Amino acid sequence: MSQLEYIIQQIINAVSLGSLYALVAVGLSIVFGVLKLTNFAHGDVMMVGAFTTVLLIGIGMPFAPAMLCGILASAVAGFLIERIAYRPIRNAPDVTRLLTSLAVTYILENLGILLFTSSPRNFPLPDILNTSWQLSGGAITFTNINVLTVALTFVSLIGLGWFITRTTIGLGMRAAAEDMQAAQLVGLNVNKVIIIAFIVASAYAGLAGVLWAAQAGVVQPQMGFTPLLKAFVAAIIGGFGSISGALLGGYMLGALEIFIVAFMPDVVVPYRDAIVFALLIAFLLFRPGGLMQPNREIKL
């Protein structure tokens, strides 16, 4: 296997992993943008989508409609979380809001454990998505689920870009993210803007959850934790609250992790996560606004 093929393979891996990070980070950023809230429950909204999909496939539904229902279930979960948990404390101090979002996380995870136990379940991926492609006599391989992940990420993010920049609701969301008071003064119903932001972000969480679980091959109630942490790092690197920043951060983080695993000496590889989180700390210390908003301060 030539060096070039190895590099191409790693680029494919990086784009595939980065797509997942980007999808999760974008959802986090949408909520942070309008609400200035770090929504820890975002990972659990992913779990809701993944579990719904697995259960529906289990009762015989084909993959595509099951995934759509999973996304829908996540959107509904996001709607309920905003309505029940976050709206009553919207104007509370940051610490209250942060703790509430942690509480929602624990409630959802424990609900998942009660319903499904904490042991992992198999993700019944249809054969067609498991089919792998071999190029250059097997030196470069990828499966259809990789292709699907990247394709859906691209399509959905282009859709999001269109929604944010070309629709009236998107305009309202950008205005509210910029200045909530001024947004009210131009007559925007803040409740409506926030609930739509939650629904959109949660639908992205659902999509990300299904794809994440499909790639991992398993679902379990705590599956949202790792992607949430990684997406958080990605969002900070890019510039928290900025959607393009989340996208950039997601792909950069994917590339970095793959780079560490593929090109660093074996002794470094086990420290992959340590390196990633060291990077997070570095950004928080020296460039808290991330790559996209160099002058901005963030608070959690």
Partner 1 sequence: MAFRDGKSDEQVLLKTTGLTKAFRGLVALRDQAITLRAREIVGVIGPNGSGKSTFFNLITGFSQPNSGQIEFKGRSIVGMRTSRIVALGIARTFQGSRLFGTLTVRENVLSAAQLRQPIGPIASVVRGPLYQRNVAAAEAIATELLDLMGLTDQSDRLAADLPYGDQRRLEIARALATKPELLLLDEPAAGLDSNETKVLAGLIRTIRDRYGVAVVVVEHDMDLIMGLCERIQVLATGEVICVGTPEEVRNHPRVREAYLGHS
Identify the H or E element spanning 184: helix 180-185
Select from 183, 237, 253, 258 the one that contacts partner 1 (CB under 8 A).
183
**Cα separation of 218 and 210, whole Å?**
10
**Cα separation of 28 and 101, whole Å?**
12
Select from 2, 91, 119, 181 the one that contacts partner 1 (CB under 8 A).
181
Q: How far is the CB of 217 from partner 1 (least distance, A)?
A: 34
Question: By rule CB under 8 A, what string of x and - marks binding of each residue 141-180 to partner 1?
Answer: ----------------------x---xxxxxx-xx--xx-
Q: How far is the CB of 178 from partner 1 (least distance, A)?
A: 4
| Interaction between residue 130 and partner 1 (CB under 8 A) | no
- How much is the CA Rg of the chain, to the nearest whole Å? 19
| Interaction between residue 188 and partner 1 (CB under 8 A) | yes
* Cβ atoms within 10 Å of 217's Cβ, excluding its own: 14
Which residue, among 204, 245, 258, has the nearest Cα to 24 in the 3D structure?
A: 204
- CB nearer to partner 1: give 272 or 296: 296
How would you classify the pairing of strands 132-135 and 121-122? unpaired
Q: What is the DSSP string of 17-76?
A: HHHHHHHHHHHHHHHHHHH----TTHHHHHHHHHHHHHHHHHTT--HHHHHHHHHHHHHH
| Interaction between residue 295 and partner 1 (CB under 8 A) | no
- Which positions from 195 through 214 interact with partner 1, judged by CB under 8 A? 196
Which residue, among 81, 21, 37, has the nearest Cα to 177 in the 3D structure?
A: 37
| Interaction between residue 184 and partner 1 (CB under 8 A) | yes
Select from 59, 185, 267, 285 the one that contacts partner 1 (CB under 8 A).
185
- CB nearer to partner 1: give 131 or 167: 167
| Interaction between residue 187 and partner 1 (CB under 8 A) | yes
Q: How far is the CB of 27 from partner 1 (least distance, A)?
A: 18
Residues that bind partner 1 (CB under 8 A): 163, 167-172, 174-175, 178-179, 181-190, 196
